[in-house]
C-alpha cells in the first residue's frame, strides 16, 4: 500500500452555543490513499459537512479545532501558511458541493471559467488553457465541446451544468476530490450520470475521492470503503461491499433497512423505522449517542461511550453489544 494522502487524526471540531463549546465532530480518524474512494454517510446535522470544511481548512470563524489534526502527505496542515493553503486548495484538492453547477458564474462562458483556473494555477497560456478546457468538456461527456465552451451557464441544461461543474472541479487534476452531497439536488436519472462521471475520472487519473452523502446504499456502491457518522462520531467503518451486504452497527443496519428496495409492502406490513429524531448539536445523549433510538441497547450503553474498535477484518465498530455477540458467535 502506498503512502496515505490524507490522514485525519482524532479530529475534534467545536462550535460555540450558549456560552459553551459543543463538539460537532468528535474524535474522527481515517486515512485516504490515492485512487481510493471513501464514502462518508450520515444524516443532516451529524457533522459530515463540518468535517469536510475542516478538511478543506475552511471552517467558519466561530468553529475551533479543539484537538487532533489533518495531515496531507504526512505534513500537519495546521502549520501551513495561508498562501500554502491557497495553493493547495487550488491545485491539490477539489470540492464539489450540493450543486456542482453552483460554482459557475452566470456572466461568463463556461469554457473561460474552466480556463481561468488553468491559467492561474497551472500557468498555462490562454490558448492552451482554452484547448484544455474544451478537452475537459469533451471528457465529461458534452457533445460539441467547442460550441459548449462558448455558452454561458444559463444556455446549458441542468445536467450539462452539473457536468461543467465537475469538469471545473477536476480541471487541475486534483489529488483529492471532496464531493459533499454531489447529487442530492438531482433526479435519480441524472444522479447516476454524475456519479459515473466521478468514477471514470477517478479510475483515469488516480485521484482520491471522499464522497459525502446521506444515502448509505448509494455511497456503498460507489466507494471502496464506507464510514458511517452519527452525532459527530464515526460509528462504523468498513469495506463497502460487505458493509452494504451486512452492516454491523445497529444504526447502519436501521438506516439501510429503513429504505425499501424494489419490494411492495403487503397490507399491514411496515418499513423498519428508527424511532426518535437525529440528535442535534448541543444535546447529545450521554454514553453511546445512538442508544435512545437503538433496538439492541443495553443499560451500559447509556453510561459509557463506546470507542471505535478495529475488528480485524477491515471493519471498525463502535458498538460493544454487537461486537461481543459476533465474538461469541465466532468459533475461536
Interaction site with other proteins (CB under 8 A): 15, 17, 43-45, 157-160, 187-193, 196, 214-218, 220-221, 240-241, 244-245, 254-255, 258-265, 267-268, 270-275, 277-278, 280-281, 293
Q: CA 217 to CA 197: how far, in whole Å?
A: 18
Q: Which of 43, 116 has the CB closer to other proteins?
A: 43
CB of 218 to other proteins, least distance (A): 6
3-class SS shares of the chain: helix, strand, coil, % to 5: 40, 25, 40
CB of 216 to other proteins, least distance (A): 8
CB of 266 to other proteins, least distance (A): 10
Exposed/middle/buried for 39, CB within 10 Å: 0-12, 13-18, 19+? Answer: buried
Note whether 67 and 1 are within 8 A (CB): no
Q: Report which of 149, 156, 151 is spatially closest to residue 171, judged by C-alpha positions.
A: 149
CB of 241 to other proteins, least distance (A): 6
Q: Which of 210, 220 has the CB closer to other proteins?
A: 220
Q: Report which of 162, 322, 324 is spatially closest to residue 236, judged by C-alpha positions.
A: 322
Hey, how many other C-beta atoms are within 10 angstroms of the C-beta on 60?
8
Q: CA 56 to CA 114: how far, in whole Å?
A: 21
CB of 272 to other proteins, least distance (A): 7
The cell for 25 is: 465532530
Q: Report which of 297, 289, 331 is spatially closest to residue 46, judged by C-alpha positions.
A: 289
Q: Which of 9, 224 has the CB closer to other proteins?
A: 224
Q: Which of 118, 322 has the CB closer to other proteins?
A: 322
The cell for 176 is: 483529492
**Cα Rg of the chain (Å, integer):** 21
Q: Which of 12, 130 has the CB closer to other proteins?
A: 12
Q: Report which of 174, 115, 84, 190 is spatially closest to residue 182, judged by C-alpha positions.
A: 190
The cell for 219 is: 455511497
Length of the chain (residues): 332
CB of 152 to other proteins, least distance (A): 17
Q: Which of 130, 163 has the CB closer to other proteins?
A: 163
CB of 130 to other proteins, least distance (A): 26
Q: Which of 70, 243 has the CB closer to other proteins?
A: 243
Amino acid at each position: 500500500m502506498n503512502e496515505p494522502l490524507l490522514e485525519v487524526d482524532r479530529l475534534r471540531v467545536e462550535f460555540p452555543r450558549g456560552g459553551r463549546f459543543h463538539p460537532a465532530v468528535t474524535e474522527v480518524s481515517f486515512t485516504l490513499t490515492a485512487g481510493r474512494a471513501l464514502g462518508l454517510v450520515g444524516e443532516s446535522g451529524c457533522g459530515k459537512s463540518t468535517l469536510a470544511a475542516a478538511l478543506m481548512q475552511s471552517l467558519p470563524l466561530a468553529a475551533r479545532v479543539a484537538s487532533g489534526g489533518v495531515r496531507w502527505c504526512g505534513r500537519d496542515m495546521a502549520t501551513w501558511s495561508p498562501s500554502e493553503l491557497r495553493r493547495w486548495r487550488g491545485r491539490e484538492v477539489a470540492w464539489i458541493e450540493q450543486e456542482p453547477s453552483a460554482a459557475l458564474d452566470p456572466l461568463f462562458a463556461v469554457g473561460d471559467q474552466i480556463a481561468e483556473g488553468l491559467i492561474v494555477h497551472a500557468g498555462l497560456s490562454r490558448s492552451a488553457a482554452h484547448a484544455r478546457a474544451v478537452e475537459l468538456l469533451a471528457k465529461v461527456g458534452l457533445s460539441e465541446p467547442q460550441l459548449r465552451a462558448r455558452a454561458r451557464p444559463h444556455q446549458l441544461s441542468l445536467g450539462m451544468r452539473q457536468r461543467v461543474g465537475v469538469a471545473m472541479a477536476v480541471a487541475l487534476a486534483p489529488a483529492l476530490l471532496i464531493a459533499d452531497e454531489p447529487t442530492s439536488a438531482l433526479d435519480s436519472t441524472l444522479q447516476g450520470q454524475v456519479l459515473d462521471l466521478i468514477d471514470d475520472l477517478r479510475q483515469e487519473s488516480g485521484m482520491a475521492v471522499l464522497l459525502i452523502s446521506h444515502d448509505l446504499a448509494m455511497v456503498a456502491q460507489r466507494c471502496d470503503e464506507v464510514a458511517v457518522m452519527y452525532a459527530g462520531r464515526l460509528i462504523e467503518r468498513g469495506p463497502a461491499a460487505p458493509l452494504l451486504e451486512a452492516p454491523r452497527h445497529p444504526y447502519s443496519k436501521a438506516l439501510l433497512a429503513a429504505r425499501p428496495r424494489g419490494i411492495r409492502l403487503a397490507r399491514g406490513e411496515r418499513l423498519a423505522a428508527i424511532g426518535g429524531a437525529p440528535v442535534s448539536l448541543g444535546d447529545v445523549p450521554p454514553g453511546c449517542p445512538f442508544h435512545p433510538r437503538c433496538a439492541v441497547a443495553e443499560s451500559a450503553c447509556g453510561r459509557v461511550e463506546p470507542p471505535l474498535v478495529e475488528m480485524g477484518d477491515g471493519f471498525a465498530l463502535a458498538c460493544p453489544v454487537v461486537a461481543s455477540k459476533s465474538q461469541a458467535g465466532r468459533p475461536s
